[in-house]
A and B are shown apart, each in its own frame.
Chain A
Amino acid sequence: MAEESISNGFIMNPVSGSNPPVVAKKKRNLPGTPDPEAEVISLSPKTLMATNRFLCEICGKGFQRDQNLQLHRRGHNLPWKLKQRSTKEVRKRVYVCPEKTCVHHHPSRALGDLTGIKKHFYRKHGEKKWKCEKCSKRYAVQSDWKAHSKTCGTREYKCDCGTLFSRRDSFITHRAFCDALAEETARLNAASSMHSLAAAGNFNYQLMGNPFDTGMPQHLSTVFKPISSCNDDTIDQTRRGFPLWMGQASQGQDSIGKSTLQEIQQFGSLNPGSIYGDPVVSTSNPPALDYQLNWVFGNKVSSGNAEDHQLTTSTSLPSSNVKENGSQLVSVPSLFSTQHQSHQTPPFSMSATALLQKAAQIGATSTDTSFLGSFGTKCSNSQDRNKYSDLYVSNTPTTTTLGSDLENSANDISTLNQLQMYPAKRRRMQNEDGGGGGGETRDFLGVGVQAVCHPSSINGWT
């Protein structure tokens, strides 16, 4: 009996089936699929909306329900015969909707229940008189409205990321933009982005290397800022010839990065010409920094070495820059931190101290700035850190790894890698067996900034 109507029926969400389904997928009959033997009743809208359908034949009083009518009839003291209902079997009745445009107007889609057809008529074709106070949703049927009011506002929405919402609209908007939503696509993107970053690296190279428009140094300076305060400390201590991280592990975590970041700093602080060619140009070379660099790059650093010299001079620059002109240091740790994702990219407005503190934390959020976009998304994992600690602990990491990693790390430091200093660094690293750092994030020196966060790597130096 249901077959004929399935084909033209609209589908409601199947709930638990009452009749065995004819089609495997549908769990219950479609509404409005009546028994073909049933008597089809078509009531006028007026009748449908009438509240007192059951009329007493004696006095004409109307009742909403049949039971009420029967109760009333008893009061008329009818003879026994008339008390009973007519004995003829009552045919099953189905009702059609009087609204011509409605699906249920056709007898084949009639509804089996009077209450049902009434509710249908109100819901679909009636005026929505009942309104929820909280969310202003409107209902034509009072029982619907009551049912809704009970649950309205009590429901809490939970996003995949764990945030709870009491408002549906803010939940929806959040959900659409939530990182949890984008997780899958991010993973896909990560794979493809390695290739794209190589290109991006070139682009960034352009940004870095060109005689800049005014924007770039500004940006770099913003990138470099927060390190300034801690760098001052670092430099003071290292000028005493004592690497910062010797004494304090936690602070030391930063210092390696800081010292390496000094390289990076110099890009911000130097003029374009000097970035390319001659890092030594603008500042002097405090010998203490050579010493500091030794610690950074391993025991093989000797100042006599041409490459070392180049390195040391370059690394020495930033410190003096720091000392000379603190104002040039703007926010290194943006770069710094995004490199090892230790914290979110700080808003432009954060104070140096706050940024510094964040830089010291090891976090897991990735950020994606336009310039630093390539930096942010590669998550540091423990494996990388271990690799990196190898860099410091044992002097026998695989140089080829380093070299190839440096070559291949199309991410964060690709821009810096492109710079002229890089080849020198790389050779240097290879000579020193300083390679092996986790392939993902490397600083200018190819050392890998992740180690900054990693305690064991610090200890490894000692």
Chain B
Amino acid sequence: MKVSSAKVSKESKVHGGHHKNSLHSKRRSHHSILPLQPSDQLDQWSSVTVDMYSNHHQPQTSHTSTSRSSDYSAGGGNNGEPSGTGNKWASRLLKECARAISDKDSSKIHHLLWMLNELASPYGDCDQKLASYFLQALFCKATESGQRCFKTLISVAEKSHSFDSARKLILKFQEVSPWTTFGHVAANGAILEALDGEPKLHIIDISNTLCTQWPTLLEALATRNDDTPHLKLTVVVTANIVSSVMKEISQRMEKFARLMGVPFEFNVISGLNHLGELTKEALGVLEDEAIAVNCIGALRRVAVEERAAVIQMFRSLGPKVVTVVEEEADFSSTRYEFVKCFEECLRFYTCYFEMLEECFTATSNEKLMLERECSRGIVRVLACDDDQDNEGECERRERGSQWSERLKEAFSPVGFSDDVADDVKALLKRYRSGWELAQPHQNETGLYLTWKEEAVVWVSAWKP
């Protein structure tokens, strides 16, 4: 719905870019970002707010234009874009708020937070959900309560998770989306090829996958080879996994391996503060074993300054292959620039949420839980200081190219064979359309999973 000219004029008066700045400059002398400023300054916003509010509510019932005009700016301008088409009202509001926080513009922040609060809901459509979770992070950032909020979220999550709920969640996710299974298939393929013919295998698993990667590997070991090798699996538990969950998992893995007829040994290492502290001895690495290090979604949890050390630690274990799977987003290089980091964060999670929306049913409980899981990461990245010792909860993702730079310090890349690429393609065929396998650019390594032509997950294999 196009805005009437009257509104346009009002908006342009308030929301033209430079206009905004001149208005704001008067209010720059705040000591803190919040609390509010005197009401006279609010008046200027209130009319706009009303407009904005009513405009935003209209789209819920009317789906008119699908155009994405980009003249929205500052605090309240709405050109009548219906949010029903998912057109980024949340994105704009959120970005505007982030800018306001970065500028320390208190009244604007307050208004935007208020507006977002009105419109956001974790049970609504994508925009509303994004608004809700990012609002939480913005609020924490503005009030400097990120650390506390994060800890609360962690403890809530820990207490509400059981083996059954975690299992159900992860298996359901794997059923509807190849987001995680892509990495599993590619990594397993690389591991099997690298360790082919070895009689004693030792896989060191540092992942967030709750061992869902391994049943298919066990099956492959059992059926592919004439001589089934002995497999030792050492799982390094990152935070937030309750020990009883791991206990259940270990029982099941052992039983399944027995079923498959694979000689199997399963160990869990938990209570680790820093990955870099791991040693060969601690992991139980023996001389006659062929080592594979499998790292899925774990490197991003290492504090940025410690990542090089962790990679060197991997090297010191003498592996034959190292497989790394990470999500394609960069929260690391922008970590000192709030607005840029915010925008990247928003981009990534928008993609993720939209993916969830499409892959799950509308009322899926699993989808809700997965979205909730994101809230921790979002708060952590946007509202917490990295200086705090957070024991492996960093969540600062990097892109594949960035990880490659780091990994090249200690390893050289291994390409994925055609067989593995075929396996991955066959995997993707089993899901709904939208998923593709993409080869990397010229000098890069690994494979990318793309969702609607946007790269989302990166997998790579390395050897010493």
Query: Does residue A50 face the partner (Cβ distance < 8 Å to B)?
Result: no
Query: Does residue B118 face the partner (Cβ distance < 8 Å to A)?
Result: no
- List the A residue with the shortest CB-CB distance to B365: A347
Q: Which residues of A contact B215 (CB under 8 A)?
A: 172-173, 175-177
Contacts across chains A and B counted by CB atoms under 8 Å: 103
* Contact A175/B159 with A136-B426, A138-B422, A169-B181 known, Cβ cut-off 8 Å: no
Q: Which residues of B contact A370 (CB under 8 A)?
A: 158-159, 161-162, 242-245
Query: Does residue B63 face the partner (Cβ distance < 8 Å to A)?
Result: no
Interface string of A252-278 (1 = CB under 8 A from B): 000000000000000000000000000
Please determine whether A367 and B422 come into contact, CB atoms closer than 8 angstroms: no
Please determine whether A181 and B255 come into contact, CB atoms closer than 8 angstroms: yes
Please determine whether A371 and B171 come into contact, CB atoms closer than 8 angstroms: no
Query: Does residue B200 face the partner (Cβ distance < 8 Å to A)?
Result: no
- List the A residue with the shortest CB-CB distance to B167: A177
Q: Which residues of A contact B252 (CB under 8 A)?
A: 176-177, 181-182
* Contact A185/B251 with A370-B162, A370-B242 known, Cβ cut-off 8 Å: yes
Please determine whether B162 and A135 come into contact, CB atoms closer than 8 angstroms: no
Report how far A4 CA is from B210 CA in the complex, Å.
49
Please determine whether A218 and B242 come into contact, CB atoms closer than 8 angstroms: no
* Contact A175/B426 with A138-B419, A169-B216, A222-B159 known, Cβ cut-off 8 Å: no
Query: Does residue A404 face the partner (Cβ distance < 8 Å to B)?
Result: no
Interface size on A, residues (CB 8 A): 37
Please determine whether A349 and B156 come into contact, CB atoms closer than 8 angstroms: no
Report how far A344 CA is from B164 CA in the complex, Å.
9
Query: Does residue A170 face the partner (Cβ distance < 8 Å to B)?
Result: yes
Please determine whether A348 and B156 come into contact, CB atoms closer than 8 angstroms: yes
Please determine whether A136 and B212 come into contact, CB atoms closer than 8 angstroms: no
Report how far A131 CA is from B421 CA in the complex, Å.
13
Q: Which residues of A contact B419 (CB under 8 A)?
A: 138
* Contact A181/B162 with A167-B430, A170-B175, A215-B155 known, Cβ cut-off 8 Å: no
Query: Does residue B248 face the partner (Cβ distance < 8 Å to A)?
Result: yes
* Contact A177/B160 with A182-B252, A368-B244 known, Cβ cut-off 8 Å: no
Query: Does residue B423 face the partner (Cβ distance < 8 Å to A)?
Result: yes
Query: Does residue A321 face the partner (Cβ distance < 8 Å to B)?
Result: no
Please determine whether A172 and B216 come into contact, CB atoms closer than 8 angstroms: yes
Q: Which residues of B contact A174 (CB under 8 A)?
A: 171
Report how far A370 CA is from B243 CA in the complex, Å.
8
Report how far A168 CA is from B353 CA in the complex, Å.
28
Interface string of A4-28 (1 = CB under 8 A from B): 0000001000000000000000000
Report how far A385 CA is from B189 CA in the complex, Å.
52
The smallest C-beta distance from B446 to any residue of chain A, in angstroms, reads: 20
The smallest C-beta distance from A34 to any residue of chain B, in angstroms, reads: 21
The smallest C-beta distance from A200 to any residue of chain B, in angstroms, reads: 10
Query: Does residue B399 face the partner (Cβ distance < 8 Å to A)?
Result: no
Q: Which of B203-221 contact A (CB under 8 A)?
A: 212, 214-216, 218-219
The smallest C-beta distance from A346 to any residue of chain B, in angstroms, reads: 9
* Contact A348/B226 with A172-B219, A177-B171, A181-B256 known, Cβ cut-off 8 Å: no
Report how far A16 CA is from B425 CA in the complex, Å.
38
Query: Does residue B34 face the partner (Cβ distance < 8 Å to A)?
Result: no
Please determine whether A347 and B369 come into contact, CB atoms closer than 8 angstroms: yes
Q: Which of B128-161 contact A (CB under 8 A)?
A: 152, 155-156, 158-161
Report how far A181 CA is from B167 CA in the complex, Å.
14
Query: Does residue B3 face the partner (Cβ distance < 8 Å to A)?
Result: no
* Contact A170/B164 with A176-B253, A371-B159 known, Cβ cut-off 8 Å: no
Q: Which residues of A contact B368 (CB under 8 A)?
A: 349
Q: Which of A209-247 contact B (CB under 8 A)?
A: 214-215, 218-219, 222
The smallest C-beta distance from B151 to any residue of chain A, in angstroms, reads: 9
Q: Which residues of A contact B165 (CB under 8 A)?
A: 345, 347
Report how far A457 CA is from B194 CA in the complex, Å.
64
The smallest C-beta distance from A247 to any residue of chain B, in angstroms, reads: 34
Please determine whether A173 and B212 come into contact, CB atoms closer than 8 angstroms: yes
Query: Does residue B286 face the partner (Cβ distance < 8 Å to A)?
Result: no
Partner of B159, one of A131, A172, A218: A218
Query: Does residue A126 face the partner (Cβ distance < 8 Å to B)?
Result: no
Q: Which residues of A contact B249 (CB under 8 A)?
A: 177
Query: Does residue A363 face the partner (Cβ distance < 8 Å to B)?
Result: no
Identify 10 new A-B residue pairs, CB closer than 8 A, beyond the known A368-B164, A369-B244: A136-B422, A136-B425, A173-B215, A173-B216, A176-B252, A214-B155, A344-B164, A350-B365, A373-B162, A373-B244
Q: Would you mind naming 9 contact pairs between A and B with Cβ atoms under 8 Å apart? A: A170-B174, A173-B216, A177-B249, A218-B155, A222-B160, A345-B162, A368-B162, A370-B159, A370-B162
